[in-house]
Amino acid sequence: MSRAARAESDPAVRRVRRGRAAARLRDAVTIEDVRRIAGRRLPRAILDLLEGGAGDEVTVARNRDALRRLDLRPRALEDVSARALGTTVLGQPISMPVMLAPTGAGRLMHRTSELAVASAAAAAGTVYVQSTVSAYPLEEVAEASRRTAWFQLYVPPNRADLAPLLARVAAAGYRTLVVTIDLAALGNRERDARNQILNLPMWHPRALAQGFSRPLWGVEFLRGNVGLGAAPERGGRQSLGDTRATIATAATSVTWDDIAVLREQWDGPLVVKGVIRHDECERLVQAGVDGIVVSNHGGRQLDGVPGAIEALPAVVDAVAGRAEVLLDGGIRRGTDVVKALALGASAVLIGRPYLYGLAAAGEPGVRRVLEILRAEIDLTLALVGAASPADLTPDMVGGVDLAERRVGGAAGPLG
């Protein structure tokens, strides 16, 4: 064991390091600040896993670029002296219009992974969407969320496994089901292919080198002694050797017939995640879907598709209030959240931002990310002339063409 690794295994050293990390976290005033802290803690290959996307990562960049190009158009002379950020999504009150998206990489960021994220979301009064891919049993995550979490479903390749899984999800107390439809095959994630970190045994020299490059991360990863795969049974844990069996095992085509089966077998709200085309929304509404998440999987599946915010307005128009519309992709600022709400989203989901917080400091890091976004949303509402999310309207956003803004009309600038 190297000198650095021996030092990191010393409890006194770890306490000092945690204290320094906590101080840095308190000084973080933006999501980018938290990202930098995470970057200092994570090995390069794990940071690539978090930051990377498919192909040339054009869509990863486009999610952010499209949001940046949108202008906010403040409304003057409004009384915004008293503001409220709370809203309701599918009948569930949340304290601010930010929810935590399902991600399968939490275990690689911090050993507490889903338990920390669920607890932080509950403390903030919002929703965490627990992924099928998990280090911890979905029942334990539900308890950590105080029964406020939703469950994200990768439809099992063997459809005979679906009914027992849904029964287990319902018994654990999840009231809303989110089915991901854009993972027919795992995207071409070239950073991961080059690094090969998920395809290596834990004790392979290249895998060990990652841990030695960031000893604190390596020690914490081994201390966790849980892996990453399909959610284990209650009381169980994934072994470290299962870490290689990740999201690729969940890749399967989801069809319209599957949506019909899910609607029949699931009694609660049903949400479909991974919609980009507005012309699919009518059929989704007719199929009994209660919510639609406009998402390109964070640019991690198919490169070259529109940014999520670009697709949002046409989806909102097509749904026409018959289902709730959420946005997932590229959110880093409170201004981003306000833009999405003004264009018709009920709320947004974040993925990479809270994973930065998780990597930086576990649950306190996730809480800090939510605190930053809450403060930025509140300030943005005040400055655009809205006392609450309900006061935001499409005319408060402009400055860029959004493709197919109107379902039946040509693309054109907003406002």
Q: Would you please indicate which residues are annotated as catalytic (active-site) residues?
A: 297
Judge whether 366 and 358 are in contact, CB under 8 Å: yes
* Sign of the CA dihedral with 380 first, then 311, 349, and 361 last: negative
Bridge partners (DSSP) of residue 297 are none
Output the CA angle 354-360-364, nearest 5 degrees: 70
Side chain identity at 395, as an amino acid letter?
D
**b or e along 25-56 (b: 16 or more beta carbons within 10 Å of the residue's beta carbon)?**
beebeebebbbebbeebbbebbbbbbbbbbbe
Q: Which residue has the tokens 């264009």?
A: 343
Interstrand relation of 87-89 and 92-94 (parallel, antiparallel or unpaired) = antiparallel
Phi-psi region of 320 (alpha: psi -120 to 50; beta: other; left: phi over 0): left
Question: 405: closest CA among 343, 328, 342?
Answer: 343
Q: How does DSSP classify residue 268?
A: S
